Amino acid sequence: MTSRKRMLQSLNHRGGPVPIDFGSTAITGMHCSNVAALRDHYGLEKRPVKVHEPYQMLGLMEDDLLDAIGVDTVGMEPLSNIFGFPSNDWKPWTAPWGQELLVPGKFNVVQNDKGTYIYPQGDTEAPFSGHMPTTGFFFDAIIRQPEIDDDNLNPEDNLEEFNPLTDEELGRLKLYAKTAEASGRCVIGGGPGTALGDIALVPAPFLKEPKGIRDITEWYISTAIRQDYIHEVFTRQTKLALANLEKMWASVGELMDVIVICGTDFGTQTGSFCSPETYDELWHPYYQQMNDWIHANTTWKTFKHCCGAVENFMDRFIASGFDIINPVQCSATGMDPQVLKDRYGDRITFWGGGVDTQHVLPFGTPGEVRAQVLERCEIFSQNGGFVFDAIHNVQANTPVENMVAMINAVHEFNEN
């Protein structure tokens, strides 16, 4: 069975071997230090890891490593990363923890005793948009919030990053899709402008001088006190997204299998950022428009990322038309794997949830990792609707023996 067939079988809830994803998206990847450790473990060619997503310092998982792990997915190269420049024209850079890496050509930074500061779009004349602390392993967005004048708020200010796809960009997407499809793996791509209120994007680390509501706290406040403004932003953004989806389907078509719609988080460790009723009011109508168009006009499966305690949002995600939920944070309140599978497993695919990346994977023993992976596979894989992945990205300093135990356990489960 090919990787792509294994994936589509599970996504269509038809059972079979558990497919594996690592590295296909910016929310299912591994820190560059882990990629290097796994390359060493599998005896692969020694070379610097490419940091293809510098915000989280994710390492590019190249074909030889994907083959060694047995990964069934591959991501289309995005048009640009979260700092607003393409991940190409690689150049050497030594990370603060001493790792020799390759970073994109426009990865321009300043380092001092407070850490590493990065420029948006690589423009050294612009204010910094990201900061990595001296003892950190990834960047945080720098909030550059203009003073808010409620009487003169302009929704266009929160829309300047969303633009129609150009012919040149569509050509690049088609090339990226063809390259990914040639791997024989299931191809994952991003939605052009479909992310509604994604907190990773609200501060706009890719813009030189962002306007509008760009402070994360202020954005969440706005979902309660400025709902008319949010509706206006989402209405215009959805119209643009639908036009871009039509262009993207015409260009990429069935070369792509899964489209990531949005990474907006609604959950915390123990609760949610808003009520389910607020989701119904602000997000559902727009998500539904996008998902309905995709299901009526394409063969793509739609992917929703949402961390935290969101069991009480699951029916709503399904009603909005999402085929896939990620990362399935089983350590959060109310996110019991068996309950999730029993209540929702026939209506949505769980992509993630395979092992706890907060406690077990980084701090447990290989035996504890193996036991949890086998248990999660047993629960989530019944009748398909499961793609194995860790819960969000595998973080820096995760012991390589634990990562190997995780990978081996999935293959062990599939062989039994």
Q: Model confidence over 105-154: pLDDT tens digits?
A: 999 999 999 999 999 999 999 999 999 999 999 999 999 998 999 999 99
Read off the amino acid at residue 298: T
Q: Is the pLDDT of residue 207 over 90?
A: yes
Read off the amino acid at residue 238: T
Determine the average pLDDT of the residues in 149-162: 96
Q: Which tokens sit at 145?
A: 């919030």
CATH number of the structural domain 3-30+70-79+146-415: 3.20.20.210
The pLDDT value recorded for residue 1 is 82
Q: Kindly report the pTM of this predicted structure.
A: 0.97
The pLDDT value recorded for residue 335 is 98
Q: What is the mean pLDDT of the chain?
A: 97
Q: Model confidence over 7-42: pLDDT tens digits?
A: 999 999 999 999 999 999 999 999 999 999 999 999
CB 26 within 8 A of CB 326: no
Q: Model confidence over 180-193: pLDDT tens digits?
A: 999 999 999 998 99
Q: How many residues does the chain have?
A: 416
> What percent of the chain is modeled with pLDDT above 90?
99
Q: Where are the domains of the chain?
A: 3-30+70-79+146-415, 31-69+80-142
Nearest to 360 by CA among 347, 370, 346, 345: 370
In Å, what is the CA distance from 163 to each residue of 15, 83, 168, 191, 216? 40, 17, 13, 12, 22
pLDDT category at 300 given cuts 50, 70, 90 is: very high
